[in-house]
């Protein structure tokens, strides 16, 4: 076995959490601190109490505090050279950055790429960005997009900025707009939707979201952009960020999204595949907010992906 393929052992390590590191979940900290250790091994260490804070057991969602004494367990770390983003089969994401300053960057996320690794995916957006920027002190997802959704994705470059943006999101002070193609001619004008949503897990572990009056509150505003008899292009503004929110709200209204395998119309999806639609037609077209710490307004738009533009042209939308 070559030296590159051997695994290196590391002993117990105690780290003191700094103010800059405080506030993050312990599992996220460990995933970065123990690079090369499988995710399953890290979570198993937490469950078994091998990871401790101030001498006590903690759960994976524990938020680290300044001065915490974090015990990292003895683990074996692969010493093989990490794959480059190109070797991992991922696009070079530096070419997809729409906006960047010293606090945040906005990425035009490619469709088909998960935002993070897990559930059978080794490399997502955030892992690929960290590989492309090995000297970056901090890169973290601010929010998430479904794997098949393209468009604006916020990445924080400072922990303080992540906390601030999370506060803005919770307060509804980040404007997020999407473009979605739905089945049929939209006849409802501009429409505000506030169906509450609840997550369910079906047999086999598949995650689905249902409209349920006992679910979590959610808000979407649908505005028609263009329509013909078989399809309508909608702009959707989100007032909340629930899982699959646009997809479930649209389906509940009787206008399922084109190409949606979970909540859509299978017959309609087949018709759309015949004119070139190979995935969910959902695109995060813009994001905007004002940073209260600096007073700076950030407003970024992502052009519609070529594969979706071609579908609109096939439907007669110039």
pLDDT tens track for 297-315: 999 999 998 999 999 999 9
- Catalytic entry in 68, 96, 146, 265: 146
More confident of the two residues 233 and 130: 233
Instruction: Specify if 109 maps to a domain.
Output: no
Q: Structural domain tally of the chain?
A: 2
| Dist CA 42 CA 75 (whole Å) | 9
pTM of the model: 0.73
pLDDT at residue number 1: 38
Judgement on whether residues 73 and 180 belong to the same structural domain of the protein: no
84 pLDDT exceeds 60? Answer: no
Final residue belonging to a domain, choices 77, 98, 122: 77
Report the 10 Å Cβ neighbour count for 23.
16
* Cβ-based neighbours of 173, under 8 Å, separated by 6 or more: 289, 290
CATH value at residue 31? 3.10.290.10
pLDDT at residue number 119: 52
Instruction: Specify if 238 maps to a domain.
Output: yes
Q: Give catalytic status of residue 27 as yes or no.
A: no
Final residue belonging to a domain, choices 50, 77, 104: 77
Structural domain boundaries, residue 219: 174-314
CATH value at residue 195? 3.30.2350.10
């Amino acid at each position: 076995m070559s030296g590159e393929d051997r695994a290196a052992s590391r002993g117990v390590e105690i780290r003191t959490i700094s103010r800059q590191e405080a506030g993050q979940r312990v599992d996220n900290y460990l995933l970065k601190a123990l690079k090369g250790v499988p995710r399953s091994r890290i979570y198993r260490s937490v469950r078994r109490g091998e990871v401790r804070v101030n001498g006590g057991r903690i759960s994976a969602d524990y938020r680290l505090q300044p001065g915490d004494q974090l015990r990292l367990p003895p683990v074996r770390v692969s010493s093989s050279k990490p794959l480059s983003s190109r070797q991992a089969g991922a696009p070079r994401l530096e070419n997809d950055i729409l906006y960047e300053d010293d606090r945040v960057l906005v990425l035009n996320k490619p469709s088909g790429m998960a935002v993070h690794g897990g559930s059978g995916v080794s490399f997502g957006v955030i892992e690929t960005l960290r590989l492309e920027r090995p000297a970056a002190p901090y890169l973290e997802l601010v929010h998430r997009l479904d794997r098949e959704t393209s468009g604006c994705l916020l990445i924080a470059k400072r922990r303080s900025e992540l906390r601030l943006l999370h506060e803005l999101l919770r307060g509804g002070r980040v404007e997020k707009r999407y473009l979605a193609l739905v089945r049929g001619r939209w006849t409802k004008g501009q429409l505000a939707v506030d169906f509450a949503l609840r997550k369910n897990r079906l047999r086999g572990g598949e995650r689905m979201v249902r409209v349920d009056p006992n679910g979590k509150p959610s808000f979407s505003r649908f505005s028609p952009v263009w329509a013909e008899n078989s399809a309508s292009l909608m702009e959707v503004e989100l007032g909340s960020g629930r899982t699959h929110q646009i997809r479930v709200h649209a389906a509940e209204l009787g206008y399922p999204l084109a190409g949606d395998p979970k909540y859509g119309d299978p017959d309609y999806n087949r018709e759309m595949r015949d004119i070139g639609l190979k995935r969910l037609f959902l695109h995060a077209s813009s994001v905007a907010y004002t940073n209260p710490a600096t007073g700076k307004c950030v407003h970024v738009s992502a052009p519609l992906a070529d594969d979706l533009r071609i579908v609109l042209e096939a439907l007669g939308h110039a």
